[in-house]
Structure 1
């Protein structure tokens, strides 16, 4: 079903049968994740990348064309998550360890359209969907000269309220900058707020940005839940 389609006017309610709590949607999500994890394990990292090689070439060409047509101009969108029961420091400690580790499975598990994550000779490589396009890009960290744009970003929040910040360019293997990311965390009385901003070239269709804001919500929610589980 596409985003533009509507479901038929029919309802299905689970009255009894399965033990434990959860809706039919919860059951389906569990089985979908289990099946996806099986394919990832059986194919292996290189197998997944080989399978998606043509898709990646097409997706990267799309981003490259958008970047060139936009001539350095970007459009921003932000997803905001309210988190209870975990501090931003605990979450970021888990994230740092996950990205530094050799096992990419905790990172991949956060979203069905995560295909590869990990460092190589160029930097931190991410292979995932950008809108409908499968893309392979790299990320760079806060504090480098290339990140000067973040210091003047309209989306930058007060240091006093959001002291933990990370920014990155998203760039292809040939160095073409195809996006940006600015993530900011501020602690609250019972947890923290995650302010997640992504930037894409202005010539990208709006649905590419819209989909990535949903992508952010899914992946960060699942990373946060995994970080919390690791504290137990």
Structure 2
């Protein structure tokens, strides 16, 4: 499906080791689904790296405003559902994926990721997963338009990296580097969050990636998001290892 990669990454999903090729196969299927959602032609079957870049170019050609217009109805419904679910209480369902990385360091990756999130150019964010449709960074934090888990709807929400007050996932002292923040609906209500934690190993580093969803979220959607996490972070790690610009 793809040529040799710059670093070996093995995912742990649902307690099972998942090799990179299986994550790439998941991404390959999601490329077709994302193209259909955007109303653009699906990239020709073939090399995953080429298909990824073709979908990225379609997103960039459409532009942020057009993508948001096309997905406005979905994102409005997703926002209403998330706000309703969050009103049930502060309990959460957690989607967790771990990655074992054969090279690099936890600190270097977190530095790269922080730069990519804050960059004016959204390319690194949009390339990482087919289900990433738009992203900007502003006063309220990172605004993201994406499909989460196995949801049929694209959701628009904010991640406030300056606030971890409502997260239920505690930091692990064995993972000294982290990216964490509260996810908020368009009206500011906390609807979940992320606590992604990283530590060095003898040969590279390990990532423990956690997304919190409102408790009423369907378990199938939470489980499906494990693959989303494996996809996006594996692609970001490869880009960081290659020294790719943000």
The TM-score normalised by the length of structure 2 is 0.76
Map of 1:52 onto structure 2 = 71
Are the structure 2 counterparts of residues 91 and 169 from structure 1 closer, same or farther at C-alpha, using a change threshold of 3 Å? same
Map of 1:179 onto structure 2 = 192
Map of 1:29 onto structure 2 = 48
Map of 1:127 onto structure 2 = 145
Q: Distance in 2 between matches of 1:21 and 1:187?
A: 24
C-alpha displacement of 1:32: 2.7
SS in structure 2 at match of 1:71? coil
For 1:56-95, list aligned pairs within 5 A. 56-68=75-87, 70-95=88-113
State the Cα deviation string for residues 138-170 of structure 1 (Å, max 9, x = none).
Answer: 11125x4xx2355xx45532x2x2111232111
Are the structure 2 counterparts of residues 129 and 231 from structure 1 closer, same or farther at C-alpha, using a change threshold of 3 Å? closer
Q: Does 1:192 align with 2:212?
A: no
Runs of 4+ more than 6 Å apart: 20-23
Are the structure 2 counterparts of residues 72 and 83 from structure 1 closer, same or farther at C-alpha, using a change threshold of 3 Å? same
State the Cα deviation string for residues 93-147 of structure 1 (Å, max 9, x = none).
Answer: 21111112110011110000101112134321011112322101111125x4xx2
Aligned length: 205
SS in structure 1 at match of 2:178? strand
Q: Distance in 2 between matches of 1:65 and 1:90?
A: 38
The TM-score normalised by the length of structure 1 is 0.80
SS in structure 2 at match of 1:230? coil
State the Cα deviation string for residues 149-198 of structure 1 (Å, max 9, x = none).
Answer: 55xx45532x2x21112321110120111112111111001111100111
Give me the CA root mean square deviation: 2.4
Q: Distance in 1 between matches of 2:135 and 2:61?
A: 17
Unaligned runs of 5+ in 1: 1-13, 15-19
Unaligned runs of 5+ in 2: 6-20, 29-45
Q: Distance in 2 between matches of 1:191 and 1:127?
A: 31
Q: Does 1:106 align with 2:121?
A: no
Rg larger for: 1
Map of 2:159 onto structure 1 = 139
C-alpha displacement of 1:87: 0.6
Map of 1:213 onto structure 2 = 226
